[in-house]
Amino acid sequence: MSVLEVFGHNLRNLTALRGSQAFVAQELDINRIQFQRYLRSESFPKPNVLKRICDYFEVDARILTDLLTPTQLDLISAGLYNTSPLPPATAAMYEAVGFCVPDQDFFHGSNELPDGVYQIWRGANSRRDCATQMLLRINTLAVARVVRGYNARETVPRHLRTLGRKREFRGMVLRQREGYTMLFFHSEPSRTTSLIHLRMIELGMETAATGFAVLARSEQEHGNRITRCLVMKVEGGWREQRRIARMPAFIPWEEVPEHILPFIRPQNETF
């Protein structure tokens, strides 16, 4: 396989981890037609564009020469792939987790909340007059279960809206005695943590869970730190995921679907 073919093959696999080709091209600020030429192994990017691609997917320039393995792709998807020694902050996090849970298993298997893409509905943190919705992806690594998503463009400063990494949040899915807790770590500039606690429910034929979300921040008059939420697995492949991704991030309460509203309607959770 030629270097050109290796790069196209790797880029196709990396793109599939993030979403549609159009979405990734937009996130990278690369012309869609040119991006498709890269994917078809018809062209190499210029050095500055290659650096942008590597930074976005958090890989190095070996994607030009070495085929990525399924294990590497799993690590990249979870944000755990690293070609250099762990930075001090990451090493400290490993140390802290090892201290907190030396012998408990929070990742034991369950079919209740399978891997896949989910839509989450909840009350907006920054406003009280509407709900918000977004997509999450849950993956299982060798043992651990992880989750990642992106804050809506409308929620971040304008100059950061094209930078997917600045809007990204990542977390872990922890199995509880009752339900699940998702613990999230949000990227700069917010640099904060949040969590969602869920219990599985029956909602027609859909895989769904309901609970509450908590954002670790000081009290604010105009916003919420705790909201009710509903998480539903997205079926129907990329077409349905794309439809949801194109929905507005903020939705007035009166426009929230009737079968969703009872699970997320505010009930004095703001404190």
Q: Break the chain into its structural domains and give their ranges.
A: 3-77, 116-264
- Architecture of the domain whose range is 116-264: Beta Barrel (2.40)
The domain made up of 3-77 has a fold known as 434 Repressor (Amino-terminal Domain) (1.10.260)
Q: Is the pLDDT of residue 228 over 80?
A: yes
Provide the pLDDT for residue 11: 93
- The 3-class SS string of the chain reads CCHHHHHHHHHHHHHHHHCCHHHHHHHHCCCHHHHHHHHCCCCCCCHHHHHHHHHHHCCCHHHHCCCCCHHHHHHHHCCCCCCCCCCHHHHHHHHHHHHHCCCCCCCCCCCCCCCEEEEEEEECCCCCCEEEEEEEEEEECCCCEEEEEECCHHHCCHHHCCCHHHHEEEEEEEECCCCEEEEEEECCCCCCEEEEEEEEEEECCEEEEEEEEEECCCCCCCCCCEEEEEEEECCCHHHHHHHHHCCCCEEEHHHCCCCCHHHHCCCCCCC
Q: List, for residues 80-94, the tens digit of each pLDDT value.
A: 676 666 677 777 887
Provide the pLDDT for residue 271: 46
Q: List, for residues 138-150, the tens digit of each pLDDT value.
A: 988 878 899 988 8
How would residue 118 be classed by pLDDT, with cut points 50, 70 and 90?
very high
Higher pLDDT, 223 or 190: 223
The reported pTM is: 0.67
